[in-house]
């Protein structure tokens, strides 16, 4: 009996030890689970805070984008969306279609551009050519008014009269583009911010200038600027009511227009001093 009793005691002690160990393990496991839950709760709080901060940052970014968009639209509406009016007199000759094609290709992808093409009397060649282009154009003739003098200057005056009647109050730029010049499409985006008068070189032309300060190489007329080298703010030019003298050269006519807008060379904006955007290229 003693042997059995001793054995039972040993069994009881062993069982107690197992139960005690299990209890301790369970308690430790429970404590560990609590720690994990607490850590998880802390991480969840941090994640929620980060999400709130991210949401606020995104809100501010949207606000900044909106303000930037408004400012960009204002800039674009003031400059980039100004209409460029390109005035081109033309007359029948062997190279007419080739020259019209070259200029039309330079104008083809310029947004907000109107091409005003003028003839003494409208011809089928020019009518058919303009209808095949994708350009916004206006085809005008002299209406029998041009009979002598510098026909091109007289036709340019008809274009200026047309713009005065139809676009005097809209901001834009006026260029006089003859068909004996070759134009780079780069030029037309550079001239939109002309406020009064802007100039750039015409390669191979006799009328040239240097910069800093602006100085012309010819002594006469007062502003000896090549026809292909100058652009005018349309509102400013049309308000002067100045027109080309039909009894003088193209350059003299341009000088007279410039005189009505500026008091000295300092008032003329140099778009480019040595950039190659226009070439004087008479074929015949």
- What are the DSSP calls for 19-53, one per residue? HHHHHHHHHHHHHHHHHHHHHHHHHHHHHHHHHHH
- C-beta neighbour count of 230 within 10 angstroms: 26
Q: What is the mean pLDDT of residues 7-27?
A: 54
Asked if 113 and 83 touch (Cβ cutoff 8 Å), the reply is yes
Residues forming a β-bridge with 140: 118
Q: What whole-number distance in Å separates Cα of residue 199 and Cα of residue 213?
A: 13
Is residue 2 predicted with pLDDT exceeding 50? no
**Residue closest to 179 by CA, chosen among 119, 222, 231, 225:** 119
Asked if 192 and 82 touch (Cβ cutoff 8 Å), the reply is yes
Q: What whole-number distance in Å separates Cα of residue 126 and Cα of residue 231?
A: 25
Q: What is the pLDDT of residue 150?
A: 97
Is residue 72 predicted with pLDDT exceeding 80? no
Is residue 19 predicted with pLDDT exceeding 60? no
Q: What is the pTM of this model?
A: 0.74
Q: What whole-number distance in Å separates Cα of residue 82 and Cα of residue 198?
A: 15
Q: What is the mean pLDDT of residues 253-259?
A: 98
Is residue 76 predicted with pLDDT exceeding 60? no
**Residue closest to 256 by CA, chosen among 18, 248, 160:** 248
In this prediction, residue 57 has a pLDDT band, given cuts at 50, 70 and 90, of confident
In this prediction, residue 4 has a pLDDT band, given cuts at 50, 70 and 90, of very low
Q: What is the pLDDT of residue 87?
A: 98
Mean pLDDT, the chain, whole residue set? 87
**pLDDT-above-90 percentage for the chain:** 68
Least confident of 14-18, 105-109, 131-135, 226-230: 14-18
In this prediction, residue 167 has a pLDDT band, given cuts at 50, 70 and 90, of confident
Name the most confidently modeled range: 21-25, 165-169, 243-247.
Answer: 243-247
Q: What is the pLDDT of residue 78?
A: 55
In this prediction, residue 227 has a pLDDT band, given cuts at 50, 70 and 90, of very high
Q: What is the pLDDT of residue 71?
A: 58
Q: What whole-number distance in Å separates Cα of residue 12 and Cα of residue 5?
A: 10
**Residue closest to 196 by CA, chosen among 266, 110, 279:** 266
Report in angstroms the alpha-carbon separations of 184 from 49, 60, 82, 86, 138.
57, 43, 19, 14, 22
Q: What is the pLDDT of residue 67?
A: 66
pLDDT (tens digit, 9 = 90+) per residue, 265-284?
A: 999 999 999 999 999 999 86
Sign, CA torsion 148/153/157/163: positive
pLDDT (tens digit, 9 = 90+) per residue, 184-214?
A: 999 999 999 999 999 999 999 999 999 999 9
Q: Scanning the structure block, which residue is given the tokens 């900044």?
A: 64
152: phi then psi, degrees, rounded to nearest 5: -65, -40
In this prediction, residue 81 has a pLDDT band, given cuts at 50, 70 and 90, of confident
Q: What is the pLDDT of residue 16?
A: 54
């Amino acid at each position: 009996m003693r042997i059995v009793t001793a054995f039972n005691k040993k069994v009881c002690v062993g069982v107690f030890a197992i139960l005690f160990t299990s209890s301790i393990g369970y308690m430790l496991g429970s404590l560990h689970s609590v720690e994990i839950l607490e850590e998880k709760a802390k991480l969840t709080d941090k994640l929620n805070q980060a999400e709130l901060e991210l949401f606020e940052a995104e809100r501010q970014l949207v606000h900044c984008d909106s303000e930037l968009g408004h400012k960009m639209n204002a800039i674009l509406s003031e400059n980039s969306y100004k209409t460029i009016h390109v005035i081109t007199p033309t007359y029948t000759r062997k190279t007419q279609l080739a020259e019209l094609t070259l200029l039309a290709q330079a104008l083809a992808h310029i947004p907000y551009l109107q091409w005003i093409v003028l003839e003494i009397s409208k011809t089928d060649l020019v009518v058919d050519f303009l209808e095949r282009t994708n350009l916004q154009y206006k085809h005008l003739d002299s209406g029998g008014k041009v009979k002598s003098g510098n026909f091109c200057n007289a036709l340019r005056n008809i274009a200026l009269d047309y713009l005065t009647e139809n676009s005097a109050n809209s901001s834009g730029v006026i260029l006089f583009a003859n068909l004996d010049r070759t134009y780079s499409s780069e030029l037309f985006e550079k001239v939109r911010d002309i406020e009064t008068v802007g100039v750039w070189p015409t390669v191979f032309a006799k009328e040239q200038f240097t910069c800093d300060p602006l100085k012309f190489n010819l002594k006469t007329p007062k502003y000896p600027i090549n026809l292909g080298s100058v652009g005018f703010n349309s509102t400013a030019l049309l308000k002067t009511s100045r027109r080309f003298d039909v009894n003088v050269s193209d350059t003299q006519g341009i000088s007279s227009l410039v005189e009505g807008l500026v008091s000295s060379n300092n008032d003329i904006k140099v778009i480019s001093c040595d950039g190659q955007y226009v070439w004087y290229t008479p074929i015949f």
